[in-house]
Amino acid sequence: MRVLLFFTLFFASCAFHQNIDRSISSRKKAVSENVVAGFGNTSCLVNGNTKDLNSLSVSVRGANRKEKNFVTDIISTITDMAGEVQAKILIQNMKINFKKYLRQRTDGHCLPGNFGLTTRGAIDLARKCHPKSPEKNITFSTDHLRGSLIHEIGHVVGNRVFRGRTFYSLYNSQVKKVCKVSKYTTHSNAGNKHRNRNEEFAEVWASYIYATDRLKKKCRSSYNFMREVVFNGSSHTCKALRF
């Protein structure tokens, strides 16, 4: 028997909402296809090199060896895709914190991760839910943490200034058609419509990194924006696990 648990993160409509598929017998977790993490192909990530973390002054705190390894893979992938100069614009001085759990949401439920809400200017990721939340027995898998991180980095990038404007602003002005590469681009898992396009940007960002073919097929203008503006003309190919 499987019970779907829905978590909602809030940071000025800039957070990551994921469905967690909880197996009572095995306790295995899987991210639903409502978000890019549910169909993104992590095999497209390169084997990371710690020199990329150091050259970009990316701070990683509280991570175990496995977590540090996949953070390094993600940072090196972004560096390879964008080039060192553009990567500095996108993610230099980024801060990533791994914690046992984060505080409860305002409604008392679990807060799995966020950008800027629990630590100003930083990504915080929880390994499990708060012990006083209804989902207190949930422990997040490595795949969940990896997917959450890629999405949250999209929010870091969206807030960065490029050519005098944030990437959020550039995206809104240059991409007129809403991209529905995942359900989460427009609505939270609770069915609430997002108040702006920040979550769309983060999902489009994640799709370009590890579900490129799906993004190119469903949202060509969003794909072109990521390729030409965010990644400075660098093409990238990654076949989604599911289309």
Q: What is the pLDDT of residue 61?
A: 98
Q: What is the pLDDT of residue 242?
A: 63
| Integer Rg of the chain from CA | 17
Q: 20 has which bridge partners?
A: 5, 31
3-state secondary structure at position 119: coil
Rounded to 5 degrees, φ, ψ at 168 are -55, -50
Q: pTM, whole model, 2 decimals?
A: 0.85
In this structure, is residue 242 part of a structural domain? no
In this structure, is residue 243 part of a structural domain? no
In this structure, is residue 208 part of a structural domain? yes
Q: Where are the alpha helices (DSSP H) in 8-64?
A: 50-55
- Residue 13 in tokens: 């409509």
pLDDT of 111 higher than 70 = yes
The DSSP string of 56-89 is: TT-EEES--HHHHHHHHHHHHHHHHHH-HHHHHH
In this structure, is residue 237 part of a structural domain? no
Q: How far apart are CA 165 and CA 169, in angstroms?
A: 6
Q: How far apart are CA 103 and CA 35, in angstroms?
A: 23
In this structure, is residue 235 part of a structural domain? no
Q: How far apart are CA 140 and CA 111, in angstroms?
A: 11
Q: What residue numbers bound the domain in which 144 lies?
A: 2-230
3-state secondary structure at position 161: strand
Which of 14-28, 138-152, 214-228 is least confident? 14-28
Confidence of residue 42 (pLDDT cuts 50, 70, 90): confident
Q: What is the pLDDT of residue 73?
A: 97
In this structure, is residue 239 part of a structural domain? no
- The total of structural domains in the chain comes to 1
Rounded to 5 degrees, φ, ψ at 37 are -60, -20
pLDDT of 32 higher than 60 = no
Q: Where are the alpha helices (DSSP H) in the chain?
A: 50-55, 65-82, 84-91, 142-159, 167-174, 198-210, 212-218, 220-225
pLDDT, tens digit, 9 for 90 and up, residues 69-104: 999 999 999 999 999 999 999 999 999 999 999 999
